[in-house]
A and B are shown apart, each in its own frame.
Chain A
């Protein structure tokens, strides 16, 4: 099967859950013998979409990658106020302004639509990742109808999802693919679509043993951390990710409960954060170091309000680590309840009580970690996911009735 993935960013240096998911699916389909290609931008960072990779075609992990240049970087001076008015504004804004917001949000690639119109029919399936960006917003209407298409919305319950701009998009693809049941429910509630769909999930590597030496080396590499127990947060430091709230909660916790407990943040702040004696921000680190950071922690904290899957949570469970998760995010709460591997908290009082529970009972953290690991083994094995995904892609091409999950 010849499959094209269309995604806003793609590459070994590109962080981001949806982008990683696209890369995993593309790479693993290629490894199973499918002619897999990717159409993407030259950007690495979504903050400005600056062209970092050269335009043109290259090969990455067995996947042919076509990169188109971004015509203009995202300027916060323009995008910031627009973002505040369009998805976050109190009033409905006219369609032209929604379209302008999409263009300014980017990555604006004038070559995208002509490229798809010219090449779409040479593929058996075209798969779009992430509803939110220009790549799907402009690309899906260009390809739909020419070839069977799949949209992985990676949707969160966030204000942009409610923009009328997206009403049509969710009715265009031949099928929808979701990362969790909660994401599927959210999209069904919002768009009332009746097109075929499946819940794919995402896989993780289960052979992720981290040695004590790796953890010790990680601790030694974080000045001032020493042997202190710590909670770990992995991801972007961004208000939308709940990390700013986590900073506030943790600082309040430490004021009220003095101890040597620390918070280690593995990720780059979108905006500079005020320094705190108990919070260690290490920035993005290589994969092995990230695993060591998670393995050395008491528990992972996942405070995000907007998750369609949370790969980092699954990775922590693969390492048999307990988790504290945002209870006001249906996806995270669903994972925690199904797995028995995490404690969902709602608000500071519950956060404080949950941290107390974990700090006061190391056996509890270990037991939660074990249950998390079992959950991952049951549901997130890549081989099984890719087999189901191949079957799904096969079936959406057939003129037969609906595809069932």
Chain B
């Protein structure tokens, strides 16, 4: 009878492998610069991969989410003045209907803001997010610029434009220096 086959899981193998690498790294088995030098091909490749760094935006969104817990019960009623706490509690009770209504409105408003902000973050996060019309305009301008820059046939025309411009500038200078009649 054949011995039972082992079925190594790639995840477990990777855990073993990475643990071994960390041990070696900690023991100084990799001379300084070795890994960096051997990663030269990878660095050359990744420097061309588009990267979107929206970490700051996501952190701000997390803070925003934490602040969404509106609750009238959170309004402090404590006081250092004798009897003040009782007075605040009574006042709070007196206007419970109003504060609850305001808190409810705040919650609804915050929720709509939350939805809107996430929609904006997701739009930024979308790798295909481009301003097509802007891109097209930039492309058109780049094309025209490059045409002028490389077109030898247009060089005499550009030279003529430069000469006419210089003439106009000279005329303007002469006009500015002429004394007022």
Query: Are A242 and B38 also in contact (CB < 8 A) when A92-B142, A343-B14 are?
Result: no
Interface string of A259-293 (1 = CB under 8 A from B): 00000000000000000000000000000000000
Looking at B42-50, B78-86, B91-99, the stretch in contact with chain A turns out to be B42-50
Closest residue of chain A to B39 (Cβ to Cβ) is A347
CB–CB B10/A350 < 8 A: no
CB–CB A342/B42 < 8 A: no
Interface string of A327-359 (1 = CB under 8 A from B): 010000000110010111101111001101100
Determine if A403 is an interface residue (Cβ-Cβ < 8 Å).
Answer: no
CB–CB B127/A357 < 8 A: no
Taking CB atoms and an 8 Å cut-off, the chain B residues in 5-19 that contact chain A are 5-11, 13-14, 16-18
CB–CB A343/B41 < 8 A: no
Interface string of A352-374 (1 = CB under 8 A from B): 01101100000110011011000
Taking the closest CB of chain B, its distance from the CB of A126, in whole angstroms, is 27
Query: Are A350 and B128 also in contact (CB < 8 A) when A94-B143, A252-B34 are?
Result: no
- For chain A, the bracket of interface size reads 35 or more
CB–CB A94/B142 < 8 A: yes
Closest residue of chain B to A95 (Cβ to Cβ) is B139
CB–CB A343/B13 < 8 A: yes
Taking the closest CB of chain A, its distance from the CB of B138, in whole angstroms, is 7
Determine if B164 is an interface residue (Cβ-Cβ < 8 Å).
Answer: no
CB–CB A340/B35 < 8 A: no
Taking CB atoms and an 8 Å cut-off, the chain B residues in 46-86 that contact chain A are 48-50
Taking CB atoms and an 8 Å cut-off, the chain A residues in 54-109 that contact chain B are 87-88, 92-97
CB–CB A96/B35 < 8 A: no
Contacts of A248 in B (CB 8 A): 38, 41
Total inter-chain residue pairs, C-beta < 8 Å: 99
Taking the closest CB of chain B, its distance from the CB of A82, in whole angstroms, is 13
Determine if A147 is an interface residue (Cβ-Cβ < 8 Å).
Answer: no
Q: How far is the CA of A233 from the CA of B38 in the complex (A)?
A: 19
CB–CB A344/B41 < 8 A: no
Determine if B163 is an interface residue (Cβ-Cβ < 8 Å).
Answer: no
Closest residue of chain A to B6 (Cβ to Cβ) is A367
Determine if A24 is an interface residue (Cβ-Cβ < 8 Å).
Answer: no
CB–CB B142/A340 < 8 A: no
Taking the closest CB of chain B, its distance from the CB of A373, in whole angstroms, is 12
Taking the closest CB of chain B, its distance from the CB of A376, in whole angstroms, is 16
CB–CB A305/B45 < 8 A: yes
Other than A94-B143, A164-B139, A344-B10, give 20 A-B pairs with Cβ distance below 8 A.
Answer: A87-B48, A96-B146, A162-B50, A164-B135, A189-B127, A192-B126, A192-B128, A244-B41, A252-B34, A337-B11, A340-B8, A347-B35, A348-B35, A349-B30, A350-B17, A357-B17, A364-B13, A367-B7, A368-B8, A371-B8
- 23 chain-A/chain-B pairs, Cβ below 8 angstroms: A87-B48, A92-B142, A94-B139, A94-B146, A159-B48, A159-B49, A162-B50, A164-B135, A164-B139, A244-B41, A252-B34, A337-B10, A340-B8, A340-B10, A343-B13, A347-B38, A348-B38, A349-B24, A349-B25, A353-B20, A353-B21, A357-B16, A357-B17
Interface residues of A (CB under 8 A from B): 87-88, 92-97, 157, 159, 162, 164, 189-192, 239, 242, 244-245, 248-249, 252, 305, 328, 336-337, 340, 342-345, 347-350, 353-354, 356-357, 363-364, 367-368, 370-371
